[in-house]
Amino acid sequence: MQHIFRIILLGLALACTATVSAAQQTPEERGKAHFNDPKLGGGTSGRSCNTCHPGGKGLFGVADKMGWATPAGRSRTLEDAINICITKALNGKPLGVKSREMQDLIAYLRTLKPKP
């Protein structure tokens, strides 16, 4: 009987740690998770950002640019470029420009510094 209680307690402890660590994620960490999530924007293509930009490939220094080149032409804002990739490449719906998901994604893209 005691054995069962220990297992239940252990389970509860693990559940608590998981909840706390999810809540403590930084915007950059959440953005990286979105970057790897094929369901971002409700995407149905099975592709995530990381499929075509593995480890941020092609996106180093992207947050510091003044204009962006996407599979559907030029974009004047980073949010627009991201949303084009979400709609065209992930088959998803565009994210709100001010949404937390968008802000987190951009926080992650900012960590991709240009290679010296």
- Interface residues with ligand HEC (CB under 6 A) are 40, 47, 49, 51-53, 58-59, 62, 65, 68-71, 78, 81-82, 85-86, 89-90, 105
CB of 15 to ligand HEC, least distance (A): 30
Nearer to ligand HEC, 30 or 49 (CB): 49
Nearest Cα to Cα of residue 113 among 61, 67, 66 = 61
CB of 75 to ligand HEC, least distance (A): 7
Contact 50, 35 (CB under 8 A): yes
Nearer to ligand HEC, 65 or 113 (CB): 65
CB of 13 to ligand HEC, least distance (A): 35
The number of angstroms, rounded, from the C-alpha of 6 to the middle of its chain's C-alpha atoms is 37
Task: Give the separation between CA 10 and CA 15, rounded to whole angstroms.
Answer: 9
